[in-house]
Structures are given as C-alpha cells and as structure tokens.
Amino acid sequence: MKYNIREAHRINATILPDGTLQSRNSFETKRNNNILIFGTSGSGKTRSAVIPNICTMLDSYIISDPKGNLFRKYAPMLKKHGYQIRHLNFIHPEQSEKYNPLLYLRTSDDIMKFSKMLIEAQSTGKEPDPFWKQANLMLMTALISFLTEMHQLRQKYHEPEAGRWKMNLMEIPALLACIDSDDVSEGKMCEMDTHFQLLQRLWRQHTGKESPAFRQWKKFNQNPQKTLATVIMTLQATLAELDTDGIRYMFSGDNMQIEKIGMQKTAVFIEISDTDRSKDLFANIFYGQAMNTLCSVADVQPDSRLPVPVQFILDDFGTNCRIDGFENMIANIRSRNISVMLMLQSQSQLEASYDISAHTIMENCDTTVYMGGNDPLTAETIAKRCNVPVYRILNMPLSTNWTLCRGEKPRFGRTVDIAEYVLLPEYEHYLDIP
C-alpha cells in the first residue's frame, strides 16, 4: 500500500506516524494542531512524522535540523514549490544566513528577558551571592537598551549624533571598553557616562521623556563603587565566550524577516548540533523571538490569524529547545494559526527542561504519539491513557506506535516510513534519503 501525501495536501491534513490523515481545520475538529511525539532514538520520528509533513507543503515551517540533512534534501523541493528558504546554521555560523536578535526586541520587557537569557546561560547555578547575577543583569540591560534607543534615534528620528553605535550584540564588548574600571572604582566620570548623557539628551529632545537606558545605567551606578569593576570584568568574560568569528558574522545583519513567515510560505531550517550544546542559547532565542513576533503579526490581522499557517517542527525539544515562556505561548497560539510538532525521547526529558510546566505543555497538545522507549514514567502516562498494562507499552513491537487524539479512542498501529508515501512525480527522487 502506498500512502498519499498529495491527498494530505488536497484536504489540508496532518500526516500522523501511522499514516492517518488528520484535518488541520481546528474549528471543525475542535482540537488544536499541536502534536507531541515521544520516541527513543531510532524509532522513526523523522521519517514517519517530520518528512511526510514537510512534503505536504501546507504551512510555513520553522524546523529544527540537528544534522542538516533536512535542509540539504528538502530545501530545493520547497523552493521549487514557491517557498522562501532561510537557513540558520549554528554549527558553522560563518556559512549561515544573518540573524540579528536585537532587531526583534520591541519593548523594555523584551530587553530584560533577552538580557536574562544571556546572563543565565553562562551561570553555573552555584553562585554564593545572587547580587553578582543581578548586577550583571542590570548592566547588560542598560547596554542593550542603549543600543536599541540609539537605533531608534537613527531610524525614527534621523538623529546624526546617534550614528556611532550599531544595533548589534557584538557592540557590547566595545561599550564595556568605554567603562574605565579605575574611574568607576574612584567614583569618577568615565567615557560610558558621557555616552549615556548624550543618549539622555537626545532622547528627551525627541520624545520629551527620560531614556529607559539612562535610568538603568543610573541604577547600576548606585552599586558600591568598589564592586563595579568586578561586575564589568565578569560581564566581559561572559561575552567573550559568545564572541567567535562565526557568531560575529551571523549577527552582523539580518535577512530572516521573521514577520513575513506568516505572510508568505517560508521554510526556516535551524541547523543546531545535537552533541555540541554551546550554541543552544542562540537557537532558543530565535525560537522565542519567532513565536512572539508571529503572534504580534497575527494580532494586527483582521481576524487575528496569520494568513499562512506556521508550524514549528522541533526535534530534540527536551534538550536543546528550552524556549523562554513556551508554556504560556503554547496555550495561546492556536487562535493565531500557529502550531507545534514537538519530538522528545521521554516525559522525564521534558520535565528536566520545563519542570512543572512540562504538564502544561503536554496538556496543550491535543494529539500525542508514542513510538516506543525505555522510560517508565512515559510508559505509565501512556498506559493510563490507553487503559492497558504498563508492560504492554514498554514491550511494544518495533516500528509500532500508539496515537492518542483528544475526543477519540487511542489506537495502536504500524509506523509508516516515508518511503511508503506517494509524492508528486517530479519530487519522488527526494524520498531517497540516507
């Protein structure tokens, strides 16, 4: 039997690992389109769920691509079908398209969250005094706010005096170099004070308000003078770990155009190593910014929905995809025409990343697929929902799965490999994957 991807495209349906076609019209089904897939390594998550649904070419896609195989194999097919292709390569960032995360910081809350992610990513969790983390966060927030406000002065008000500083994360080391630790320790004015005073003057001149960045800088300077030099050195060390030639190149511009992903069919491939975790931070920042930006774009549409649905296909979600605030996002994305397909090895893996919020994420996925594994906690959860003994879940035959859709009885079936599907004739050679 050949399973038909063309039919899934025609009727607007998701392809589940057992070959079932499930309508994506959430208003008719009364379910969201979020899918949670559990399966140990080698259980077929990519070949039975990810690739078939990419080949339906129904949505815009933001795809976690740990090995880069999906980009190399399916980007040409999608491009021929009219898709805009974007490629973020965190394994070899010097070969990536450019992405500037600072351009997507819209509010002071965005800046605070972004700064916190940078600081906490380098934290060991064993700091004896939380003061140091808070002081680093305060300084990071002030410096990023400085860059964003200077950018606004250039772009919105065409202010020539704001032209020195670029809107780029790698400008922060240059800003830190303007803070003379000796002057700071002695309570004297340093070069950075002069820059912030200029910002304050220009900001008042154009907006009539106090600069939020200047306000943050004043708060930072209220710390004991003798400790400020230590804070500055700590932040310099934090940024030095992130400052590589590849990342500097990637952040030197932006052609991701996140706001257009929900307006025209686009496929964004995120190539992130499944063994080297050093770049996870930047990938997670992108996922969070993409979801927030797309929600904002949807909110200004007449029906508060994206014209082109967007699906996040996130492999290895429990380890390298720790998206800040995701548990709140997933509860609100359905009405905006956004959905997620999350792939994990176990429930324990999800709880390790999201703690108690893991249950919120699971509850907001109306379709769950279990493709086999060795984790007793996951097996107990699936067994309870299927009303079968736990040993039956743990001893499932290979290449089988349980599918659980809210409002339906659980079903047990065979896992269908991508090679069993029918594509359009001109795309059939894409089935020959390693």
Q: What is the 3-class SS of 325-347, one letter each residue?
A: CHHHHCCCCHHHCEEEEEEECCH
- One DSSP character per residue, 173-234 reads HHHHTTS-HHHHHTT---HHHHHHHHHHHHHHHHHSS--HHHHHHHHHHTS-HHHHHHHHHH
Q: How far from the centroid of its chain's Cα atoms is residue 414's Cα?
A: 32
CB 381 within 8 A of CB 405: no
**Rounded mean pLDDT, 385-393:** 95
pLDDT in tens, 47-68: 999 999 999 999 999 999 988 8
* pLDDT the model gives residue 431: 46
Stretch among 31-40, 225-234, 263-272, 366-375 having the lowest mean pLDDT: 225-234
Does the CA dihedral 58-62-66-70 come out positive or negative? Answer: positive
Percentage of the chain surpassing pLDDT 90?
60
Q: Is residue 270 over pLDDT 70?
A: yes
The 8-class DSSP code of residue 415 comes to P
What is the spatial distance between Cα 434 and Cα 73, in angstroms, rounded to a whole number?
10
The 8-class DSSP code of residue 112 comes to H
pTM given for the model: 0.89
Q: Is residue 128 over pLDDT 80?
A: no
pLDDT in tens, 175-188: 888 887 666 666 67
Grouping H, G, I as helix, E, B as strand and the rest as coil, residue 377 is helix
pLDDT in tens, 288-324: 999 999 999 999 999 999 999 999 999 888 776 678 8
**Rounded mean pLDDT, 113-135:** 72
Q: Higher pLDDT residue, 4 or 365?
A: 365
Q: Which CATH architecture has domain 3-98+256-431?
A: 3-Layer(aba) Sandwich (3.40)
Q: Is residue 281 over pLDDT 70?
A: yes
Q: Higher pLDDT residue, 106 or 289?
A: 289
* pLDDT the model gives residue 117: 84
Give the position of tokens 């605030």. Answer: 325
Give the position of tokens 């390569």. Answer: 89
Q: Is residue 1 over pLDDT 90?
A: no
Q: Higher pLDDT residue, 266 or 2?
A: 266
* pLDDT the model gives residue 433: 37
Domain boundaries, the chain: 3-98+256-431, 101-245
Q: Is residue 108 over pLDDT 50?
A: yes
Angle at 329 between CA 79 and CA 267, to 5 degrees: 5
Give the position of tokens 């001149």. Answer: 205
- Band (pLDDT 50/70/90 cuts) for residue 86 is very high
Token pair belonging to 155: 């772009």
* pLDDT the model gives residue 214: 95
Summary mean pLDDT of the chain: 88
DSSP H helical segments within 208-325, as ranges? 212-221, 225-240, 245-250, 280-299, 317-320
What is the spatial distance between Cα 342 and Cα 404, in angstroms, rounded to a whole number?
15
Does the CA dihedral 417-420-423-425 come out positive or negative? Answer: positive
